[in-house]
Amino acid sequence: MIVLGVDPGLSATGYAVLDAGNGRVGVRELGCARSRSKQPLEARVRAIYDELSGVLARWRPEVAVLEGLYSEYRFPRTAILMGHVRGAICLAADQSGARVVEISPAEVKQALTGSGRASKEQIRRAVTRMLQLPSPPDSEHICDALAMAVVGAAREGVEVWSQDERKKG
One-letter identity of residue 15: Y
| Class of the CATH domain delimited by 2-168 | alpha beta
What pLDDT is attached to residue 160?
A: 81
Radius of gyration of the chain (CA): 15
Helices and strands (H and E) in the chain: how many: 6, 5
According to DSSP, the β-strands at 2-7 and 63-67 are parallel
- Is there a contact between 18 and 28 (Cβ–Cβ < 8 Å)? yes
C-beta contacts of 136-139 below 8 A and 24+ residues apart: 137/30, 139/12, 139/14, 139/32
- Is there a contact between 156 and 18 (Cβ–Cβ < 8 Å)? no
- Taking only the tens place, the pLDDT of each residue in 43-98 is 999 999 999 999 999 999 999 999 987 767 777 888 899 999 999 999 999 999 99
- Is there a contact between 137 and 127 (Cβ–Cβ < 8 Å)? yes
What pTM did the predictor assign? Answer: 0.92
- Taking only the tens place, the pLDDT of each residue in 91-134 is 999 999 999 999 999 999 999 999 999 999 999 999 999 999 99
Q: Could you state, in order of their start, the residue ranges of all structural domains in the chain?
A: 2-168
DSSP 116: T
